[in-house]
Amino acid sequence: MTIILRRVAELRDVVRGWKAAGEVVGVVPTMGALHDGHLSLARRAKAECDRVITTIFVNPKQFNNPEDLKKYPRTEEADVALLNTVGVDVAFIPAPEEVYPDGHATTVSVLGVSEPLEGRMRPGHFDGVATVVTKLFGMTEANRGYFGQKDWQQLQVVLRLVRDLNLPVTVVGCETIREADGLAMSSRNVRLTPQGRGKASILYAAITAAAADIRAGQSDRMAIREAAEAIRGAGFDRVEYIELRDAETLMPSDDPHRPRRMLAAAWLDGVRLIDNIPV
């Protein structure tokens, strides 16, 4: 049975018992509204660790848009039932005051990799992510942390953070889980209208086509322009960015000998969708 814990002190007691028995602890940080993408992380953690904690915390510090925070889906009961099917040991579901008690004054900022793309479009977002992830690693004392490639830039920020602060945790990046038509699973997808849902997979299709064209020798610029046109043509409201970047630093890259990643963000039905793929 997955047990629900809401206080850091209770969590520490449970984890201390596991650690005393020499068990390896994995953590899967989430904001809830769980879907198969999240569960794939939890399953991987189960396969690699003796104990698994999934955290469910809609972190106010990583929302640059108050409306997005308000509208973020919250489905605690269903989430815990899903975690139970995967055999997660603990759902850690703290209140905002438990994570940020009065007087909280520390922010973790990862420079460089957090600055372009999502960092530029969502000021403060990665400070919120880096701060909460550092705190969750501290609270859970996890040996291994599981993150999705769906949020590629976030994964690179966390990898940088763990190296830079010498945190004793191994970060594991897990494949993006997609719907049958290719749309990357996301908690925000439920906010799409049925018509929007019908068009949403064009984002993945367009960047996949662009990546194939680039590999076949087409110019990056041309391939990206065609992808943006296809996405707009399908009825998206706006393409925020489509960029080909160094997969690790997220800086512009025209070096085909380094791993590169195509990353995109676009708006549909007032919902912001992101995706990325290797090139």
Among 46, 135, 150, 197, binds ligand AMP (CB under 6 A): 150
What minimum distance in Å lies between the beta carbon of 94 and ligand AMP?
15
Among 14, 39, 41, 239, binds ligand AMP (CB under 6 A): 41
What minimum distance in Å lies between the beta carbon of 41 and ligand AMP?
6
**Piece of 3-11, 183-191, 229-237, 262-270 that binds ligand AMP (CB under 6 A):** 183-191
Among 156, 186, 189, 201, binds ligand AMP (CB under 6 A): 186
Select 156 or 253, whichever has its Cβ closest to ligand AMP: 156
151 contacts ligand AMP (rule: CB under 6 A): yes
What minimum distance in Å lies between the beta carbon of 129 and ligand AMP?
9
Q: Does residue 38 carry a catalytic annotation? A: yes
37 contacts ligand AMP (rule: CB under 6 A): yes
Which CA distances in Å does 87 have to 28, 29, 52, 125? 13, 16, 8, 31
Active-site residue, selected from the candidate residues 35, 38, 104, 257: 38
- Return d(Cα 125, Cα 60) in angstroms, integer: 10
- Return d(Cα 93, Cα 8) in angstroms, integer: 10
Among 25, 27, 185, 266, binds ligand AMP (CB under 6 A): 185
Largest CA distance in the chain: 58
Among 31, 132, 161, 266, binds ligand AMP (CB under 6 A): 31
Q: Which residues are catalytic?
A: 38
In the complex, the residues that contact ligand AMP under the rule CB under 6 A are 30-31, 37-38, 40-41, 147-148, 150-151, 174, 176-177, 184-187
